[in-house]
Amino acid sequence: MNFLDIISSLLLFAGTFFAFSGAVGLFRFPDFFTRVHAASLTDSIAAILMIAGLLLQTSFDLNTAKLIFILVFLLITSPTASHALAKSARHGGLLLFTEKPTKQGGTNQDD
């Protein structure tokens, strides 16, 4: 294990930690909007950390370019998807957990 390997494993470890915390947030937060917040933030930071960890393992070649492409693509699309999802959830009538449910009720069971 040389110096680069140690840095890269630390980055990978941090990335998986954030990914895991995001997944826990998916279950533990009280309403949809807080859950989407947890999921989208940790998605981005996990992608940055893990791909940085992998980047340290490549020599400077095509794989480096591909990893950077993946990172850029994820950083553009993943927050956009979360934003659009949260927006259409708001338009679709989901309520924050602090808001009082209206007559019809704010939650939805779909099973």
Partner 1 sequence: MIEWIDLILLGMLALTALRVIFLKDLFAVVMLFGIYSFLSALVFIVLDAVDVAFTEAAVGAGISTVLMLGTLALTGRTEKENTHSKLLPILVVSVTGAALIYGTLDMPPFGNPDNPIHQHVAPRYIEDSPKEVGLPNMVTSVLASYRGFDTLGETVVVFSAAIGVLALLGIRREEDNNTPESGFKEHRVLQIVAKITIPLVILFALYVQFHGDFGPGGGFQAGVIAAAAFILYGLVFGLAKSMAVISPMFLRYMAASGVLLYAGVGLFSMMQGGNFLDYNLLASDPVAGQHYGILIIELGVGITVFAVMLTIFYAFASQTERSNIQ
Partner 2 sequence: MTTIFAAAAIAILVVMAMALTRAFTAPTVYDRILGVNMFGTKTVLFIAVIGYLMGRPDFLDIAIVYALINFVGMVAVLRYFEYTAPIE
- Per CB under 8 A, residues contacting partner 2 are 1, 5, 8-9, 12-13, 15-16, 19-20, 22-24, 26-27, 32, 35-36, 39, 43, 46-47, 50-51, 53-54, 57-58, 62-63, 66-67, 69-70, 73-74, 77-78, 80-82, 84-85, 88-89, 92-94, 107-111
Q: Does 90 bind partner 1 (CB under 8 A)?
A: no
- On whether the CB atoms of residues 71 and 98 are closer than 8 A, the answer is no
Query: Pick from 80, 96, 97, 105: which binds partner 1 (CB under 8 A)?
Result: 80
Whole-angstrom distance, CA of residue 70 vs CA of residue 9: 19
- On whether the CB atoms of residues 53 and 11 are closer than 8 A, the answer is yes
Q: Helices then strands (H, E): number in the chain? A: 3, 0
Q: Which does 83 bind (CB under 5 to 8 A by kind): partner 2, partner 1, none?
A: partner 1
First to last CA, the chain: 50
